[in-house]
Amino acid sequence: MSRVLIFGAGGVGSIYAYILLQGGASVTAVCRSNYETVKRDGFTINSAIWGEGIKILPGVVRTVEEAANTDWDYVVLCSKAMPGASPSTAQVIRPVVGTGTTVVLCQNGIHIEDEYRRVFPGNAIVSAVVYLPVTQIAAGLIKHGNLEILEHGNLEILEVGTYPSDAPAEHKDATVRFAELFRKGKGTIDVFDDIQSRRWNKLIVNGTWNPLCALSRSMDIDLLSASENASEMVFKVKMEIVSIAQAHGYKEIQESNARFLMDRVKGRRPDNGVYPSMVADAVEMRPMEVEAIVGGALKAARERGVGTPFLDLIYVLIKALDNSNRRKRAQT
């Protein structure tokens, strides 16, 4: 039986706990704000594809240190990516990463893997791109998807690959074994030789809607309809991300990718827009994934001399908002 520790047991972490439990793994979740509820009652999942009122009871610990006496096969990170934080998430999870542990990064952003490679140079690192519309609406209570999203595509896809792409064969094998475990739990997962192409494709979404909606406190569809030039501006931001990806050799990331992802939002009903995750973080004055999503893109742009006037401005504004919120939260 595979032993899995999930770090970041919110919406994404709870769904992956469910899938991996279904796949036959022994799963423990590191819970923080929801610890008391999940320890007592487990998670309750209401899913548009799996049904209502699903109860799961994984093992529960409050801290990483409480889980340090187990040899974990996989440590699955479903927390926000915060490059540059001190201590780094890699340092926080060090007590539970043994010589044979595979670290799975179910996190947004670009260039987020480097800090894990530095801390765990000999471990298999699986970089994962998450497509999972899920929210923890109360402690331990999970809402996964809705029927309209289901009509337009899959509600649950995980794309994975090793970091780096030329990792040793045993790291490739570890990635395949994780995918097999995930599929046993009826999860949808695809393995890629170079996952960074898929990260760039996801960044076309995250690098636009997340900061712009957070700054405007808007749902995506409301942002588009707010002014006559909103759609053109959002698309230009997406194309800056396409240009950065292409400059790094990912020629398959093209205007058609940006156009498809733009049209998918335009096709929504006005009453069924989406608040990207960064909006809730901004409203609740929680730390936002500014560096992982926007800062990482700009770093990659500078490496290849790509001009990014829209992303430059977005970064200045969302970074200022994040810093302001952190100061206010520290004062409360």
Which among 194, 218, 242 is the end of a domain?
194
Predicted local confidence at residue 332, as pLDDT:
82
pTM of the model: 0.94
Backbone angles phi, psi at 232, to 5 degrees: -65, -40
- The candidate with the shortest Cα–Cα distance to 198, out of 127, 263, 265, 269, is 127
**pLDDT value of position 154:** 72
Where a domain ends, among 194, 222, 248?
Answer: 194
49 within 8 A of 18, measured Cβ to Cβ: no
Residues 174, 213, single domain; the answer is no
Distance CA 210, CA 289 (A): 9
User: Residue 236: what pLDDT?
Assistant: 98
Do residues 322 and 209 share a domain? yes
Quick one: 29 and 160 in the same domain?
yes
pLDDT, tens digit, 9 for 90 and up, residues 98-132: 999 999 999 999 999 999 999 999 999 999 999 99
185 and 303 part of one domain: no
Q: 49 lies in which domain range?
A: 3-194
Q: Which of these, 139, 145, 103, lies nearest to 120 by C-alpha position?
A: 103
Same structural domain, 282 and 182: no
pLDDT in tens, 154-206: 789 999 999 999 999 999 999 999 999 999 999 999 999 999 999 999 999 99
Residues 135, 212 within the same domain:
no
- Give the DSSP per-residue string, 130-198: EE--EEEEETTEEEE--HHHHHHS-S-EEEEEESSTT--HHHHHHHHHHHHHHHHTT--EEE-S-THHH
Contact 33, 139 (CB under 8 A): yes
Same domain, 135 and 63: yes
Q: What is the CATH number of the domain that holds 74?
A: 3.40.50.720
Do residues 55 and 42 touch, judged by C-beta distance below 8 A?
yes
**How many domains, the chain?**
2
Given this model, what pLDDT does residue 222 score? 94
Q: String of b and e for 79-99 (b: at least 16 CB within 10 Å)?
A: bbbbbeeeebbbebbeebbee
What's the whole-number mean pLDDT along residues 50-70? 96
Are residue 181 and residue 228 in the same domain, yes or no?
A: no
Could you tell me the sign of the dihedral formed by the alpha carbons of 72, 77, 81, 86, in that order? negative
Both tokens of residue 220?
A: 């995506």
CB contact at 8 A, 82 and 289: yes
Which of 194, 228, 254 lies at the terminal end of a domain, its last residue?
194
